[in-house]
Amino acid sequence: MKIQLLNKIAQVGLKELDSDYTVGEGVENPDGILVRSAVMHDMEFGKALKAIARAGAGVNNIPIDRCSQSGIVVFNTPGANANGVKELAVLALLLAARDVVGGVEWAKTLTEDVAKQVEKGKSQFAGTELYGKTLGVIGLGAIGGMIANTAIHLGMKVVGCDPFLSVEGAWNLNHRIERAATFDQIFEIADYITLHVPATAQTKGMINAESIAKMKDGAKLVNLARADLVVASDLVAALESGKLSAYVTDFPTEEILGAPHAVAIPHLGASTEESENNCAVMAARELDDYLKNGNITNSVNFPSVSSPRTGAARICALHANVPAIIAKISTALSEEGLNIENMTNKSKGDNAYTVLDVGAVPSQKAIDHIAAIAGMYKVRVV
């Protein structure tokens, strides 16, 4: 099988792909693609392409809908870079609390009698401490949960809101973290607000003139998630008026770079050696397990399905989440005289995945029969 690299992927991850694979940037008509930041929306995908693994959490650079309709599974690596982003979030809170950046830039301008000038001018960069302040965490997933727990240990009062918080995620949260039912509740009480949600149709522009008006005067905002969670013009206006006293982001834009009291970090959240290695290893393992065994873990467009293999062959069918498809698959196999030893079917939104372990290797005729079922995206045998 062939794996195409669209970006540089850490060697520790590539070592997860054994001699069954040909891996490289120049690979043509690949079975799988490993990618970090390369934009894929205008790419043409060959018929052999079965999966794309993104070494990172965000998948805005991948045409998810087109991949789904073509039966291409898209993986990401949630949590692999969480610690790196968490550590940067702690730094961001400190940069919001104290004008360290302004002070460093001012210190560079000093040329003589530096110690005296420092003592005379340092008051203009004075700030506040995090201890005792209220932090509002919007999104309590892998990263948001970690920063919430860390803030507790820094002596902050933490209030979090996540409508989609999993049971597992909740178990990992410090018991002193308070729950807010709505984002508005956080806006009203938080001295600091940090965003840890994906950019979706529901979250884009969530920080705007209306939501900012609900915040405490002088509140400080940290955004290491995505630039378009914020309406830039509304944010700049709030910084200029003093409604917000600081904004720290990992996503510089033209508007933000010129705004007062804004610190723009050049997208360094996951730019640590450890994060890049973790993402590369997880992405390669996801790709390998799917291509060899048909197992899906951490896909953004198809459900997670993972089971030990039984029988002589495994049929992997990616299809629309509509009625009667499983019955039609069973009929096709019955007409072939194939016994289904084990079957798993799960759905995710409009898409579904059916894995069938059968007692004998199916003929091409049987596979073609299944592939012809209305709503079927892709069928393969492993």
CA distance 215 to 195: 14
Query: Phi and psi at residue 150, in whole multiples of 5°?
Result: -65, -40
Any catalytic annotation for residue 153?
no
CA distance 211 to 282: 37
Name the token pair of 309. 């293999």
Please report which helix (H) or strand (E) contains residue 293, including its range.
helix 273-293
Name the pairing type of β-strands 340-348 and 351-358: antiparallel
CA distance 334 to 56: 42
Strand partners, 74: 52
Q: What is the 3-state secondary structure (H, E, C) of 61-74?
A: CCCHHHHHHCCCEE
Any catalytic annotation for residue 255?
yes
Name the token pair of 69. 């309709």
Query: Of the listed 226, 285, 319, 369, which one is catalytic?
Result: 226
CA distance 376 to 71: 8
CB 345 within 8 A of CB 316: no
CB 157 within 8 A of CB 132: yes
CA distance 342 to 357: 5
CA distance 2 to 33: 9
Q: What share of the chain is helix, strand, coil (3-state, %, to 5)?
A: 35, 20, 45
Query: Of the listed 16, 178, 188, 255, which one is catalytic?
Result: 255
Any catalytic annotation for residue 66?
no
Query: Of the listed 267, 309, 336, 341, which one is catalytic?
Result: 267
CA distance 155 to 134: 9
Taking phi over 0 as left and psi of -120 to 50 as alpha, with beta for the rest, 218 belongs to left
Which residues carry out catalysis?
A: 226, 255, 267
